[in-house]
Amino acid sequence: MKSFNIKIFIKKLIEFILFYLLVGLLPNILILLGRHASYKNYSGFLATAIYIAIFLISIVIAKKRFTFYSKEKIIHDFHFNDIILCFSIFICILFINAIFMSLNYLIFHQVGTANNQIIINHLLKINPVIKYSLCISMPFLTPILEELVFRGILTNMFFNPKNIWAKVILSGIIFSSGHISTNIISFLLYFTLGVILALTYLKTDKQFDSIMVHFFVNFTATLSFLFH
């Protein structure tokens, strides 16, 4: 760990907790804005616009803090091989996810994770404004914000560059804790996803690579939610 200073550590901890709370607060902001809104009048479009604006502002703030801690740009030295690598990692994630989902069903008799069931059975069914706002944010905005917070900021905030496994494990635990789990299998599923995304970022030194993998995952999940 970097040279320890209790005041600096507490400031960093508070800053990260605020980012963590912000990520979890965004769906609630959408519900608050969109619950009584409708696309039949201006209220639905206004609610979606405000929600997207809040999301974009959050990304801008997170991007600035990511740059401060990492001294990196989100996109740098990007090549076609990065797309191939990210898609390959995404395919591996699909297989790992299938294994965890099978174990979840065999052991706990749950078809999906509690996190996904809340999205499918609650959020997407409140009204079309929330449904379509989520369909915009989940694949295109959430991967950027969550990668900046759970990978870019977190892994550069507390540990020195050589302490990679501490970064990876911490990122996996915090990322999984941000998703609703009712058993150890679903927790391990999100933990493993967090670990893979952290390794993608740390091994390539490219934040955009982990964002791209997260995009593939969330885009696929969004399609499955829509056609569930």
Residue-level pLDDT at 3: 60
Residue-level pLDDT at 1: 44
* Cβ–Cβ < 8 Å for 47, 37: yes
The whole-angstrom separation of Cα 51 and Cα 30 is 6
pTM: predicted TM-score of the whole model, two decimal places:
0.94
Q: What is the DSSP string of the chain?
A: -PSP-HHHHHHHHHHHHHHHHHHHHHHHHHHHHHTT--TTSHHHHHHHHHHHHHHHHHHHHHHHHHHHHH---SS-S--HHHHHHHHHHHHHHHHHHHHHHHHHHHHH--SS-HHHHHIIIIIHHH-HHHHHHHHHHHHHTHHHHHHIIIIIIHHHHSS-TT-HHHHHHHHHHHHHHTS--SSHHHHHHHHHHHHHHHHHHHHHT-HHHHHHHHHHHHHHHHHHHHT-
The whole-angstrom separation of Cα 139 and Cα 213 is 11
The whole-angstrom separation of Cα 98 and Cα 103 is 9
- Rg of the chain over CA atoms, in angstroms? 18
Residue-level pLDDT at 114: 87
* Cβ–Cβ < 8 Å for 40, 185: no
Q: What is the mean pLDDT of each run of 10 residues along the chain (228 residues)?
A: 77 96 96 95 96 98 96 91 96 97 94 87 90 96 98 91 90 94 95 97 96 97 86
